[in-house]
Structure 1
Amino acid sequence: MKAASLYRLQGQFENAARQTEQLRENEKMAGVTEQRRKTELSAARNDHRASLKAVTKLDGLLQHLTKRTARRSLALAELSEEDERSPLRLPTER
């Protein structure tokens, strides 16, 4: 084998070794990025869960207030009807 062929093969080997090292480094960085993304996803899921819990609580409070307001409106309507039906009183009678 000629020296030129050996140098060419050595150069190809060194290029392949550099590419392999670069691929290993890329794989390592991809693993780090993947782990960071998993951590971010977990935090986002926790935030989402807390938001859903808060929305559910607010929905319950809104339903409660809506029912309470409806009862108050009904009571006010009944009072208004009673006032309309009752005979007018003089200010001194009250």
Structure 2
Amino acid sequence: MKAVSLYRLQGQFEIAARQTERLREDEKMAGVTEQRRKAELSAARNDHRASMKALTKLDGLLEYLTKRTARRRLALAELSEEDERSPLRLPTER
């Protein structure tokens, strides 16, 4: 084998070794990024869960207030009907 061929092979080997090292570093960085993203996803899921819990509470409160308002409107309507049916009173009669 000629010296030129040996130098060429050595150069190719060194290039391949650098590329392999770069790929290993990229793999490590990808692993770190993956762990960071998993942590972010977990935090986002926890936030979403808390938001959904709060939304459920608000829905329940809205339903309660809607029912309560409906009962109050009914009571006010009944009072209005009673007032309309009763004879007019003079201010001194009240």
For Structure 1 versus Structure 2, the TM-score category normalised by the shorter chain is: over 0.9
Matching of residues 50-89 of structure 1 within 5 Å: 50-89=50-89
Measure the CA separation in 2 of the matches of 1:53 and 1:19.
50
The CA RMSD over aligned residues, in Å, is 0.5
Matching of residues 8-87 of structure 1 within 5 Å: 8-87=8-87
Q: Which runs of 5+ in 2 are unaligned?
A: none
Q: Which runs of 5+ in 1 are unaligned?
A: none
Structure 1 length as normaliser, TM-score?
0.98
Q: Partner letter of residue 23 of structure 1?
A: L
Structure 2 length as normaliser, TM-score?
0.98
In the TM superposition, structure 1's runs of 4+ consecutive aligned residues that sit over 4 Å from their partners are: none
Q: Partner letter of residue 92 of structure 1?
A: T
How far residue 75 of structure 1 moved from its aligned partner, in angstroms, is 0.2
Measure the CA separation in 1 of the matches of 2:50 and 2:8.
62
How far residue 92 of structure 1 moved from its aligned partner, in angstroms, is 1.2
Paired residue total: 94
How far residue 87 of structure 1 moved from its aligned partner, in angstroms, is 1.0
